């Protein structure tokens, strides 16, 4: 299935970039990409997004295992639906979740390296897996909005047909 290939590609890109950072830079070393706005910064995160729940490795492993099983189950359930947007979204979430899960299982921490500064505010440093998850969730939300619109349109068409 093409969508599991998308998840695999997301995972491989994530792992390759993390390996490059981990082997090429020391922790906290920075490479400016676009001035002080975008930097490659070697960072390790022992928690979840924004560093919350730091050092809760087993909690993340258990929760992520349940989530991964749910995503794979749902991807298999909808595989014949023809909903490519939702399938792509789930594939991105799956690839990203597996990427961070893999790090947590092996080392207990996640390699982060994408840093953006907005004036004096520094957005929390993240990685390719995080990006895949965020884009995937955004696409799931978009698919939900589009599905609601489709259902409303179908209901309006049925109501119009009943009036004729």
- Residue-wise pLDDT tens digits, 56-65: 778 888 999 9
Which has more pLDDT, 78 or 55?
A: 78
Which pLDDT belongs to residue 58?
82
Rounded CA separation 103/38 (Å): 24
The pLDDT confidence band at residue 50, using thresholds 50, 70 and 90, is: low
Given a cut of 80, whether residue 108 has pLDDT beyond it is yes
Q: How far is CA 152 from the centre of its chain?
A: 30
pTM: 0.89
Catalytic residues: 112, 130
Query: Alpha-carbon Rg of the chain, whole angstroms?
Result: 20
The pLDDT confidence band at residue 148, using thresholds 50, 70 and 90, is: very high
Judge whether 96 and 154 are in contact, CB under 8 Å: no
Rounded CA separation 6/131 (Å): 14
% of residues, the chain, pLDDT over 90: 79
Name the packing angle between helices 84-107 and 2-24 (round to 10°). 40
Rounded CA separation 149/146 (Å): 5
Which pLDDT belongs to residue 141?
98
Q: Tell me the HSE value of 112 on the side-chain side, using a 13 A CA sphere.
A: 21
Which pLDDT belongs to residue 114?
98
- Residue-wise pLDDT tens digits, 30-46: 999 999 999 999 999 98
The string over 52-88, giving b where at least 16 C-beta atoms fall within 10 Å of a residue's C-beta and e elsewhere, is eeeeebeebeeebeeeeeebeeebeeeeeeeeeebbb
């Amino acid at each position: 299935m093409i969508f599991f290939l998308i998840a695999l590609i997301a995972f491989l890109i994530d792992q390759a970039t993390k390996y490059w950072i981990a082997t090429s830079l020391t922790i906290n070393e920075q490479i400016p990409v676009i001035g002080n706005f975008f930097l490659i910064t070697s960072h390790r995160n022992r928690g979840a997004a924004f560093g919350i729940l730091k050092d809760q490795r087993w909690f993340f492993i258990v929760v992520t295992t349940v989530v991964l099983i749910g995503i794979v189950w749902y991807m298999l359930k909808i595989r014949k639906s023809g909903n490519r947007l939702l399938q792509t979204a789930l594939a991105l979430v799956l690839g990203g979740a597996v990427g961070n899960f893999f790090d947590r299982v092996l080392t207990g921490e996640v390699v982060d390296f994408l840093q953006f500064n907005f004036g004096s505010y520094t957005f929390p440093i993240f990685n390719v897996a995080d990006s895949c998850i965020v884009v995937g969730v955004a696409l799931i939300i978009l698919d939900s909005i589009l599905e609601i619109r489709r259902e409303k349109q179908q209901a309006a068409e049925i109501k119009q047909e009943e009036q004729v």
